[in-house]
Copies of this chain bind each other. A is one copy, B any other.
């Protein structure tokens, strides 16, 4: 049996169906489906995507295609009673692309095929309007010239401008220079048949001049060339670029739809419009759309004429389709309801009314805001249209952050002066301050402040806390500023490289592309940043407040029945722990103990410890820290009420805790009773060329075992206290930066010994686990041996990305964007896990770990724990949990549920819905 290349459709009957979008493309499949439903679509046929794939593989169209196309056209002639190329009663067709996945505007379309100098006369006669016929003809010539013959669109402009000038002169108008202004005062609709005939003549000349040949009068020559052009357009640069951006495989190919032309511009009984079955920005269930009388589809979008509402509205009385063509409106309302019921999703429709007859030209799942997507999904469940599991799948998890944070109001129309990395989401406005001290001082006065720094360091922590938002000129998505800001839930734009920050004069200048200063702001000036988009604005810009919303809460509830993976949070304080629980975290996957060290009262003891000359002096300083840490852990354990809390032992290099500025160094020296020179000497001793690869993590624990000992003592004392209060406590103690088995065993010895000591002293026992971060390639490669001593592993994918790719998160800003742009890298690997490289190590480590300890608990606690694509990868590896910033927990919960369904057998596959995303 030969392969069928052409699939026909007409109301009530079609060769294809919605499910065959791989073969027919999205547009073609849905046209077929509508036809099957008996919805009035202009009859036509779809040439399959396989033809396109063939063409791109072999360079030629399949042999049988011309015959099947001609048979299709013969069938169309029969169904419409018109003839292709007939002077008396010409059939006109459109040729449109239609890929499996929508690629709006990326590929080409040719309308009005079948017109030539003779048939245009027939069209004029049949339609009763010469103007209409020549208008269609000149559109064909321009589109064919551009799409099929490759003539620059601009080449056709002069003739049109000349025609407009003529009309303007005839009407006695002043002729403006700018073509846009001219078009505004002389719209196309004001061009008469005579002008349009001249335009047509001029267009013929343009085509002859550019191609050396006349425009092909033969309708089949037109049709074949147009079909070929659409297939070719699959590989035009903008389509390729779009596919790369949207991860659409190059070998899918596009289908081609050949369809009878219908016209919305045949007079007052004709119209055209677009509609959504629900409100795409709020999700509200109401039929919603716009239309224009006596117009072509492109006129609604072009914005030359103001479209009118479909439904009756008080502010535009008499304008609506409901009022002007009540019967067609009723028909349309009926159709849209059937379509939504049929496709089980909000539909985006295009329709044309030709001389009182309604035609549907397209239906597809409508684009919508994140908030609308949640509301629609949840309400469709309530309406019985969807299964709850299916509703979860209808939401784009990566866009949910829009719900969780305030955003710059797009209606404000403000222009950003600079862009950086969207490091911590949310929009916020405040006065610019340039130091942590100023941030605190101004905040105490009750002002909202944005802390602006070249980069932040742990010393800025109190200022970051006081600020409403953070803006830095350096650093990436996982820089100090970004990580801390996310943990605190502060909006942050990082690595805004156009920004030149001068801490001395307390001003910041924004450099444009040419290097000149395009904006400037100083201490006290209001600025607005949007950490969801990375944009920076000078002045106050209106924002839309955040709200999870009732529908989102409902959706999140549903995820619990579906997801395999738990979602934990990275939280360092009782406040963050509470926040995390509110968002539904099932535990703390990463509690960074060092963040507890920066409070004013504590940092002095930390520095005393660092400057200690020997273990004894170090022990004295550590003893001062013990009660603070104990208190912190008590608060966290209470907040988590028996949920697991994974506590990481001290991780950063000690020099991060020492002051950097001269005045602070002298202060410290005075406090400690040593010379400033001594302090400077220590700072210089601790300096590291590559601190990321330096003396940190468990390496500190090995060289200064007093430090983990104090921390572990604090953990167990806190656990005992809370246990005595009658609460459950589940401490999981995690060793950071492990690379050697001996590191883990020596820490485990300390932990087990201190546990026994504390339990004996407190007269109570608490179950605990000991595990390790896997954030060094060596640890991943030796996971089997490490697993002999660890009850859990947590993949620290931030550091694992740095070491596996050899890429410093703080320094990558100078080349990583160029990499992503050049397509060397699909995405910033600090945002979405590098599955081929870093992911391969995670896979190796998971396999090896399970070989030693089949029930080992495996999780991810890097920033990737909040990224849907990375979460999907974790699901595939069968990890137990992901852990992310509290504010990303809802996103992660949805993503985890989606991943579980994607890689399991979702219950709703059995339902009747006709399209799947």
Contacts and interface: CB of A to CB of B under 8 A. Distances in A.
Interface in A787-839: 799, 802-808, 810-812, 814-815, 818-819, 822-825, 834, 836-838
A836 B810 CA distance: 30
B806 A776 contact: yes
**Which of A743, A781, A812, A819 has the largest count of B CB atoms less than 10 A from its CB?**
A781
Nearest to A839: B781
Contacts of A695: 811, 814-815
Given A692-B693, A778-B838, A742 B808 contact: no
Interface in A646-694: 688-694
Nearest to A840: B781
Contact of A740 (B693, B812, B824): B824
Q: How large is the interface on A (under 10, 10 to 19, 20 to 34, 35 or more residues)?
A: 35 or more
A149 interface: no
A806 B739 contact: yes
Nearest to A684: B454
A777 B837 contact: yes
A804 B799 CA distance: 12
B689 A742 contact: no
A703 interface: yes
A737 interface: yes
Given A782-B837, A807-B739, A824-B746, A802 B702 contact: no
A699 interface: yes
A841 interface: yes
A802 B693 contact: yes
A702 B819 contact: yes
A692 B815 CA distance: 14
A837 B690 contact: no
Contacts of A781: 804, 836-837, 840-841
A324 B1 CA distance: 113
A781 B835 CA distance: 11
Contacts of A822: 702, 742, 746
A243 B912 CA distance: 73
A616 to B, nearest CB: 15
Contacts of A743: 824
Given A777-B777, A815-B702, A824-B746, A693 B837 contact: no
A803 B777 contact: yes
Given A703-B818, A740-B819, A837 B778 contact: yes
Contacts of A782: 836-837, 840
Contact of A806 (B742, B746, B778, B812): B778
Contact of A688 (B742, B803, B808): B808
Given A778-B838, A822-B742, A804 B807 contact: no
B811 A690 contact: yes
Given A699-B815, A815-B699, A693 B808 contact: yes
A782 B837 CA distance: 7
**Which of A695, A810, A838 has the largest count of B CB atoms less than 10 A from its CB?**
A695
A699 B805 CA distance: 12
Contacts of A841: 777, 781
Nearest to A819: B702
Contacts of A834: 778
Contacts of A838: 778
Given A739-B806, A739-B837, A740-B825, A811 B688 contact: yes
A542 to B, nearest CB: 35
B804 A693 contact: no
Contacts of A737: 806
Contacts of A799: 806
23 contacts: A688-B808, A690-B802, A692-B808, A693-B693, A693-B806, A693-B807, A693-B811, A695-B814, A695-B815, A702-B815, A702-B819, A702-B822, A702-B824, A739-B805, A742-B823, A742-B824, A742-B825, A776-B805, A776-B806, A777-B804, A778-B805, A782-B837, A803-B806
Closest 8 CB pairs of A and B: A778-B837, A693-B808, A742-B824, A690-B808, A776-B806, A694-B811, A689-B810, A777-B777
Given A690-B810, A692-B693, 9 more contacts: A690-B691, A693-B693, A695-B815, A702-B819, A703-B815, A746-B822, A776-B805, A776-B806, A781-B804
